[in-house]
Amino acid sequence: MTTPWIDVVYGTRPEAIKCAPLVAELRRRDGIRTTVTVTGQHREMVTEINASFGIRPDADLDVFRRGAGLAETTSTIFAALSARWADGAPDAVVVQGDTASAALAAVAAYYAGARVIHLEAGLRSGDLRSPFPEEGNRRLIAPLASLHLAPTDAAEQNLLAEGVRPDDIVVTGNTGIDALHRQKTHPQRFDDPAMEEIAVGAERVVLVTVHRRESWGGPLARIASAVAEVVSARPDVVAVLPLHPNPAVRAEVRAAVGGSERIVLCEPLPYAQFGRMLARAYCTVTDSGGVQEEAPALGVPALVVRETTERGEGVAAGAARLIGTRREAVVTELSALLDDPAVHARMSRAQNLYGDGRAAPRAADAIERLLGVGARVAASVDVPAEAALVG
């Protein structure tokens, strides 16, 4: 009997963070051949994460082309994956989340006759245009998947409502929390001395991460300007804002903050350094899905600058607030969080809303069962649905 082959495909920083614990777990187990294929979209950041987890990719598709649009990028990914599996498809392909590489890998795997395993399945915002294109990508993956690894009970309920068979869903928790637990035990000094000074200083830190495509333009300018206004009026507060690699987005942020001395602009932080800054933060202003998961686990209040979120558990539990992108709303909500200790105390209770740090072993057990390997049986983690969190 041949050893089942699993190819784990990813290309962006969030995918790499959440796939790494599963890759490490699968490679520790006998009876499965696990390979990693990277698409090359976020090359430097993915390389850094792979190195921190000791992962060497087996194939690099090198699809990134500066200035390429969504259509060109997706067609290139699809063609490269099809060529990768032309001489024989894996038994299963693992895709993570909702990126272009995840959606295209799922379609390419389906065409090649491989089973699709969706890590972080079942997240839904309810709005096909927000976040764009992520909501469409994850809805595209679901009908193709043989195994849905859902991070929470709420995600499982979304899949059941769409007609997915209960036996095809396993609630595991989120592997991003596995990665977070690991990096907490491997703290890193900051490459940037200014970041190290902030991390060990006495000022309250507002960590701002606003990078989603739908935030570019007016929303990003409004958010950055609002944060600058709030922190400039409070001498004990400093905002840290990692810049997006896109030159136009960088210019927009610089113009919006207007040279405020209370906002420190920096290059994108390596994963472990970002985690250290998030743990140090008094609060975060974010449109990031991953940060919405990590912040509650660290007891850091999150102001979510989006109109919708597919991670309603944090909002329902009071650990996050969905405030939109209006300038006035950002000023009001951030001011309240900084000025009212009771508001901060209510939002800063550390909670395991998205997992307990053992999602990867549960996911690996489910994959073994799908492929008929081994005899491990692990119960699904009890991660509460939104309704159970109210009150």
Catalytic positions: 98, 120, 134, 211, 213, 244
**What does the DSSP 8-state code read for residue 36?**
E
Show the CA angle centred on residue 170, arms to residues 168 and 172, nearest 5°.
160
DSSP E strands in 56-163: the ranges are: 59-60, 92-96, 115-119, 145-150
Handedness of CA 15, 252, 281, 123 (dihedral sign): negative
Tell me how far apart the 2 most distant CA atoms of the chain are, in Å. Answer: 69
CA distance 232 to 62: 43
CA distance 378 to 186: 28
Q: Which residues contact 51 (CB under 8 A, 6 or more apart)?
A: none
Backbone angles phi, psi at 311, to 5 degrees: -120, 70
CA distance 330 to 336: 10
Backbone angles phi, psi at 81, to 5 degrees: -70, -40
